[in-house]
Each structure stands twice: as structure tokens, then as C-alpha cells.
């Protein structure tokens, strides 16, 4: 089993280039595949999750070249050009891939089976299967979990769907199915979620009607291929924002070309509320016009515990493992609430994070929808990431200033979103060793 072994040494400053955004890389592949024409994607995230999406599209007859690891050329087959795959499509660890493909494949003229790894086979799929069934799709789950058997139905019909949970994956699945469904498909969000699908559909020439909490697409609109420049992933940059706070006086850490879509920037607000000295400068012309990008500069900061505003939860949904660690390193208590969704991620992130923090001597109180975390720092010890990439990376950053060495077990899945994480952490002075036979 792969492990990270971190011996305390505070991070230094420096400049980093974080890898491409995972959510946007998935969408660029999917929309490029069903577009008319050739889509060239630059800044693509060459992580296992997005490569699972790429392989699934190839299995359905889409020609895809990768002249460089982060450049991908997709020969679009048009809205109706996908072909039946020879076998089940393996989504690996990726909930995004599985849920977006469920929407894309519900309205095809062929059947598909979607499967995945142990973690993905535990994740709830009723949240996409149920609204898609209302559109006329036939999707079988195993007690709400994958594998999904999708019996393609080329005559789906649009629905007007109030989403019970704020989920960009569900919203995106329904919009993709909506391209194949008669009439109009509308989704109402209980809270704003990442809108990369809406932005990229618009970029590809699809009329997306957005008003307040509602987004709609009408059927049968063809997509026109376009170049996609994927910005750096703020969810990956977030780890180094905390690292920059932990640097000794004088350290300055900078990351340019990072995606700053306002539906993703909750982590900047949370860290700034805790006292992080983060400067945000918007950059122009670095990426597709559809996604804002900028440069982040972080300086050493003293963090204080806060009550995390629940309305920021969907805007920072993937960054909570890091917020738990920041809370443990802060002075005073931090209360996280309204975050029940964390239990349905690559692991139950509330339970796995609190187990890890307890193992490092932090006083925590578990709540159904969050936690109360006492600050004061991390002790030495061993934590298990539960096979969750973001848990592993969050503990690795925190461990750099622990009171002794920390081993983080089960870290192989870091390759799903940030294959180069260990090297980048080492580059800014974190004393991290990757142990592959532990
Ligand atoms: C994602 C949406 C979020 C997020 C996930 C990526 C996406 O999931 O946690 O990592 O790309 O649409 P939910 O839609 O389940 O909140």
C-alpha cells in the first residue's frame, strides 16, 4: 500500500503550477466527443479520473489523440455519433464521470453498463437515476449504488426538476440528457453549484437559459467544437494555499493560471475568514473566455477558528478535508455545519477526517452534518486516508508542521486528481517521502 511519510519541516515559499481542473477536463472530453468538429484541449488534467472518461469515450468510437500529456485532441462524432461499447465502461474512482455519463448515455440508441472501483461502488446513484427515470430513462442500480445498467431510450422527454441536493453532477447529467430529450429540460438548484457545464455548453454554441436558481436546455441542439484551455484546478491549489499560510516569515507562495469560477471560490473566503493572507489577481486571456482565472499569492498567516458559513459549503465542497486540517492547526474552535454531503464523496469525509485528526491528538466532536474541531496543532502518528485523494493531500500539508512525523496510509488515489502532488510538495520544502511498500 502506498503511503506518504512526512517529517516536520515548514513549507517554504515558491512558485507552483497546479495541474488542470478536473471538472473542466471531464466536461471538455464529453462535450468535445458529441460536438461537430475537432476540439483541442490544452491544460488537460492527466489524472486517472479524467483518463477513465477519455477511455470510455474511445470505447464508444471517439477518436482521441494525446500529442502531449496535457494536450488532447477529440474528433467529435456529433450528438448522435456515439457507438455501443463492447463491454462495461469503467469509471474508476470518478463520481463525476459516472454521473455525467449516466446523463449522456440515457438517451442513446444502445445500452451501457457503468462500473467503478470499490469507493465508487459505494456512492449513491439514485440522485441521477431517479430524475433520469422521470425523463423516460431506464437505469438499474444495486440498492442505489453502481454498477448502473442503462437501457438507452432515444425518446426521452424534458422535465422541470427541483434538485433536492445541491449537486453539479446531477445538474450536469440532466442537462446532458436534456440535449437528447424532447422539449425543454430545466433544473432548479437549492444552492448555486459549479457551472462549468453551462459555461462550456454556451461556448459550444448551445442555448442555455439561466435565470436565478434555474437552468434549462432545449433538445436537439448541435455542439460546435471549440478550443478549450483548461485553467489550473483551484481544488488542487487549495492545498498549497494552506501550505503558504504555514510558511515561516518572509515566505511567499504563488500560483498563476488558477481557475477562479465564482462557484468554486468558497475556499478562498473560508481561509481568508480564518486569517489567511491570500491575494487574488484576476488574469485575462489565459484560458477559454468561459472560465475566469487568476494568480494567487499567499503569505505566512496565523489562522483562527471560525464558524464556517453553511452557504459556503457547496462553493468549497471538495476543499473540506483541507478545512478540517486548517481548523486543527488554527487557534480556537472551528464549527463546520450544513456539510452532510461530505459523507457521500470518495470517502465519508466527515468520519475519515475526524478519525485521522483524533489519531493525531486533536479533540473533535462529530455532528451528522459536520464537526466541531479544537485547534492547537497536530501531533505525530499514523492516519488512514480511506483511499481518498483529498484526505491524503490535506493531511500531508498539515503534517509539515506537526509536532512529529506523520504517516498517511493508502495514498495511491492521489493520482486521480493530482499525480504530481508529492513532487510539488517537495518543491516547496515539505519533507514528504512516498513509500510504496508500506
Ligand atoms: C463535481 C461536482 C461535485 C464535486 C466533484 C466534482 C463536478 O460533486 O464534489 O468533485 O465536476 O460536477 P457533487 O455534484 O456531488 O456535489
In the listed set 229, 255, 281, which residue is the last one of a domain according to the structure?
A: 229
Is the same domain home to 177 and 269?
no
Check pLDDT > 80 for residue 285.
Answer: no
Question: CB-based burial of residue 379 (10 Å sphere; 0-12 exposed, 13-18 middle, 19+ buried)?
Answer: middle
Same domain, 203 and 258: no
pLDDT digits (tens, 9 = 90+) for 341-365: 999 999 999 999 999 999 999 999 9
Digit-coded pLDDT (tens) for 31-52: 999 999 999 999 999 999 999 9
Are 273 and 173 in the same domain? Answer: no
Total domains, the chain: 2
Q: Give residue-wise pLDDT tens across range 247-256.
A: 999 999 999 9
The range of the structural domain enclosing residue 138 comes to 22-229
Pocket lined around ligand 1, Cβ cut-off 6 Å: 23, 96, 167-169, 172, 194, 317-318
Same domain, 117 and 238: no
Same domain, 204 and 137: yes
The tally of CA atoms less than 13 A away on the side-chain side of residue 6 is 33
Q: Tell me what the mean pLDDT of segment 420-434 comes to.
A: 98
User: What average pLDDT does the structure give for the chain?
Assistant: 97
Which of 23, 319, 393 maximizes ligand 1 atoms within 8 Å of its Cβ, making it the mutation to test the pocket?
23
Which ligand 1 atom sits closest to the C-alpha of 127? Answer: 15
Q: What percent of the chain has pLDDT over 70?
A: 99
pLDDT score, position 288:
59
pTM given for the model? 0.98
Q: Are 131 and 189 members of one domain? A: yes
Q: Give 303-339 as a DSSP string.
A: -B--B--GGGTGGGGGGHHHHHHHHHHSBSEEEE-S-
Show the cell assigned to 421: 502532488
C-alpha of residue 269 to centroid of ligand 1, in Å: 19
| Residues 257 and 183 placed together within one structural domain of the fold | no
> For position 59, what pLDDT does the model report?
98
Alpha helices in 35-125 (DSSP H): 48-59, 95-106
What is the DSSP code (8-state) at residue 231?
P
Confidence class for position 96, pLDDT limits 50, 70, 90: very high
Domain boundary among 173, 205, 229: 229
Q: What's the pLDDT at 290?
A: 81
Identify whether residues 29 and 144 lie together within a single domain.
Answer: yes
From ligand 1's centre to the CA of 158, what distance in Å? 23
From ligand 1's centre to the CA of 167, what distance in Å?
6
Claim to verify: residue 218 and residue 264 sit in the same structural domain: no
Largest interatomic CA distance in the chain:
62
Helix (H) or strand (E) run with residue 146 in it: strand 145-151
Pairing of strands 38-42, 71-75: antiparallel
Can you give the CATH number for the domain in which 44 is found? 3.65.10.10
- 419-436 mean pLDDT: 97
Task: Find the mean pLDDT for residues 62-77.
Answer: 98
Pick the last residue of a domain from 183, 198, 229. Answer: 229
Could you tell me if 292 and 333 lie in one domain?
yes
Asked if 31 and 14 sit in the same domain, the reply is: no
Angle at 287 between CA 285 and CA 290, to 5 degrees: 100
The answer to whether residues 292 and 321 touch, using CB atoms and an 8 Å cutoff, is no
Residue 380 has pLDDT above 90, yes or no: yes
Active-site residues, by number, are 318
Amino acid at each position: 500500500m502506498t503511503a506518504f511519510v512526512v517529517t516536520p519541516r515548514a513549507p517554504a515559499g515558491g512558485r507552483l503550477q497546479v495541474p488542470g481542473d478536473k471538472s473542466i477536463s471531464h466536461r471538455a472530453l464529453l462535450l468535445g466527443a458529441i460536438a461537430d468538429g475537432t476540439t483541442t484541449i490544452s491544460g488537460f488534467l492527466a489524472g486517472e479520473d479524467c483518463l477513465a472518461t477519455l477511455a470510455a469515450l474511445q470505447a464508444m468510437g471517439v477518436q482521441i489523440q494525446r500529442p502531449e500529456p496535457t494536450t488532447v485532441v477529440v474528433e467529435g462524432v456529433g450528438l448522435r455519433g456515439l457507438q455501443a461499447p463492447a463491454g462495461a465502461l469503467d469509471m474508476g474512482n470518478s463520481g463525476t464521470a459516472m454521473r455525467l455519463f449516466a446523463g449522456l448515455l440515457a438517451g442513446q440508441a444502445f445500452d451501457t453498463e457503468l462500473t467503478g472501483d470499490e469507493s465508487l461502488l459505494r456512492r449513491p446513484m439514485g440522485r441521477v437515476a431517479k430524475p433520469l427515470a422521470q425523463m423516460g430513462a431506464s437505469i438499474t442500480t444495486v440498492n442505489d449504488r453502481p454498477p448502473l445498467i442503462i437501457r438507452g431510450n432515444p425518446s426521452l422527454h424534458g422535465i422541470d426538476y427541483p434538485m433536492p441536493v445541491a449537486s453539479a453532477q446531477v445538474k450536469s447529467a440532466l442537462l446532458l440528457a436534456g440535449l437528447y430529450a424532447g422539449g425543454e429540460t430545466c433544473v432548479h438548484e437549492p444552492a448555486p453549484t459549479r457551472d462549468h457545464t453551462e459555461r462550456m455548453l454556451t461556448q459550444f454554441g448551445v442555448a442555455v437559459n439561466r435565470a436565478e436558481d434555474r437552468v434549462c436546455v432545449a433538445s436537439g441542439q448541435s455542439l460546435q467544437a471549440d478550443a478549450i484551455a483548461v485553467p489550473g484546478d483551484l481544488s488542487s491549489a487549495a492545498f498549497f494555499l494552506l501550505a503558504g499560510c504555514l510558511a515561516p516569515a518572509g515566505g511567499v507562495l504563488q500560483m498563476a493560471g488558477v481557475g477562479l469560477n465564482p462557484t468554486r471560490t468558497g475556499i478562498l473566503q473560508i481561509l481568508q475568514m480564518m486569517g489567511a493572507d491570500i491575494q487574488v489577481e484576476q488574469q485575462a486571456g489565459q484560458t477559454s473566455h468561459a472560465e475566469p482565472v487568476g494568480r494567487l499569492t499567499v503569505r505566512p498567516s496565523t489562522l483562527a477558528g471560525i464558524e464556517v458559513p453553511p452557504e459556503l459549503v457547496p462553493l468549497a465542497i471538495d476543499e473540506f478535508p483541507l478545512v478540517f486540517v486548517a481548523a486543527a492547526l488554527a487557534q480556537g474552535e472551528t464549527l463546520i455545519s450544513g456539510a452532510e454531503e461530505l459523507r457521500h464523496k470518495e470517502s465519508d469525509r466527515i468520519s475519515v477526517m475526524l478519525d485521522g485528526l483524533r489519531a493525531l491528538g486533536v479533540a473533535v466532536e462529530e455532528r451528522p452534518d459536520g464537526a466541531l474541531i479544537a485547534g492547537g496543532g497536530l501531533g505525530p502518528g499514523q492516519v488512514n486516508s480511506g483511499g481518498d485523494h483529498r484526505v491524503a493531500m490535506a493531511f500531508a500539508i498539515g503534517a509539515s508542521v506537526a509536532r512529529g512525523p506523520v504517516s498517511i496510509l493508502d495514498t495511491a488515489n492521489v493520482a486521480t486528481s493530482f499525480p504530481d502532488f508529492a513532487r510539488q510538495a517537495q518543491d516547496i520544502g515539505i519533507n514528504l517521502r512516498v513509500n510504496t511498500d508500506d
